[in-house]
Structure 1
Amino acid sequence: MSLLLRTLAANRIGMDVLLEHLGIGRSIYLAGSRLRTVAWTAGIDSDWLQQRTVQRHTEAGDRFFVLAGHRVHGRLLVRGACPQLCAKCVHAGGCCLLPWELACVCACPLHNSLLLDRCQRCRAVIRWNRQALDVCHHCQWPFAPSSESAEVPAGAIRWSTWITQRLGDPPYAAACALGMPRWLDGLSIDGAFRVVEAFGCIEQDARPVEHRSQALISARSMAQMLDRGLNRLNMLEVSSAEQRQLVDLVDLPTLERLAKYGITETDRLTGRALLRAGGLRRPKSMRKGGRRQRGQLSLFDSEAP
């Protein structure tokens, strides 16, 4: 998308103007004839463009997205019309990177900083329909490097490094080499994120993070959720006493959806295995008393499927 934006900026044309002029609406999700039309207009090979843009598909009533051959479910994982960027990378390379299209890639491993999702000056959400790659569409102010680099959780950096490499050409670093569970390597990007989301989306006080009520989670909240989830996943390999602390801090419906609707068979099997994990079962003294929170299922009990 950044190549399209640079081409349009050179001709002083807004992206929304181009899409409407071509009669294909304002959606940035390009596929089929819409993608070929934009590729022809910009002088870009359509196959090349397809590998570098998010594709939205519907199959048997199921809507999903494809990025660089990787299939993902859910609006939470795709930034769409509200992109994010690293100002230092944009200034140095003059383009936006493919991994930034995924909301779960919330940090720049090269500069150890959070990606920007809002203009630092006017706080407007960043949009593709802007005059240049490095300026805000609302106030026209240049984006400055993130000032939050020292506060980026280590887990978010490790995760963003891993996903960035998986979106590129193999080989890529094994998850265990980055301090993450080795079995994440066998999951799809979507499946791996769902596991980390399930273990990280509930804060210590049992409140879910902002994405439970918002369509798109901020880079800051995403980084905190990823770091929290990875730390809790690492607890699965320690004593059962520490594992039991996770019972009320895991979003069980997310794991249940993974077990039922995971993209790959390995995703689904992993979801089921986590739901059946003996070390995560509630102690017997906790199974009889008290009501579960609404939406929490008895998936850590022995009767779990």
Structure 2
Amino acid sequence: MIYVSLPVHEKFDVIANQLQNFKKYLPEAMIVLHLSAGAHFSTKELDGFLKLNRVDNYIINPVQLNAAWGSIIEAHLSNVEFVLQQGDAQKVIFHSSNDMLIREGLSSYLKDKTFLFHHREVFPKSHWWPANVAIDDIAFTDWLSVYGGAIVASQIEGSMYGVDFLREFNDQYQWRYKKSFSSLSYPREEFFFSSLARAFGIVADGLPYVFSEVHRFDKKLWAYYENMPLLLNNNPLSKKIKKQLIDKLFDYGDYKISIKDIEAIRNQDDRHFASIEYLSDGNNRWRIHTIDNLFAVKRVPRMMTDKIRQYISSE
């Protein structure tokens, strides 16, 4: 059985819409919902709404944690523990509440694969700020040093791991890492699973299948870093200019998922994504995707009135 770990926190109708989306494109999967402790409704209310709307491809994890940004890994690992209790899991895929599947063929892509993750090597002074925080997380690097492993990052959405690995990973996370858990705030789920998999000698069978607009945003931002090295300085003026630049790029919004992106993935148009097939963090170069491994997109706004969500749902 394939399970999908999905942390959620808002809007009954959006959750139902995402589950229906999985039912269409990955019908053999069971979706494990982790409802954040900060949600304004209960697991019972969520379950009632989904049943009323005849959604049936889910189970709800009874454990509720505060799954805010920076602690999503806790929600995913709680889901992993719940999946292991079911007794029939073979592999677990990780998703977020703002991504959606968009084309047929995912079942075939996953059929002969157990591990999907990026091999994004992490070095000091990266343009990607979470990488620098991960390097400073002594509890994490000490854990990796047991195996002589290096930090290897991966997008979490659309990544997949076998349950034997996840069982061992969770056991070690609880007693090797959490006992000396740091207060650093960064997306641990984008470092821990892939780094430990590589440290255990696991080679990925393929790449995560979600195209994320985040990579396109980062590439645009880091092009400015390359052309304006002063932005990489740590003085107040450089920080101010960098913040203004980031705010401007966010407001401009040309990095966001579009209908053209969706159609390019469906039509396997590799020219459309040629400029974002690889990414450099400033001191490395790694492959984000190949056109034939893309089956989903992120971010899709969590609003039923959003035109991208409506377009995907109407197909």
The reply to whether TM is greater than 0.5 is no
User: Which structure has the larger Rg over C-alpha atoms?
Assistant: 1
Structure number with higher relative contact order (C-alpha < 8 Å, ≥ 6 residues apart): 2
- TM-score, with structure 2 as normaliser: 0.26
The structure with more strand, counted as a fraction of residues: 2
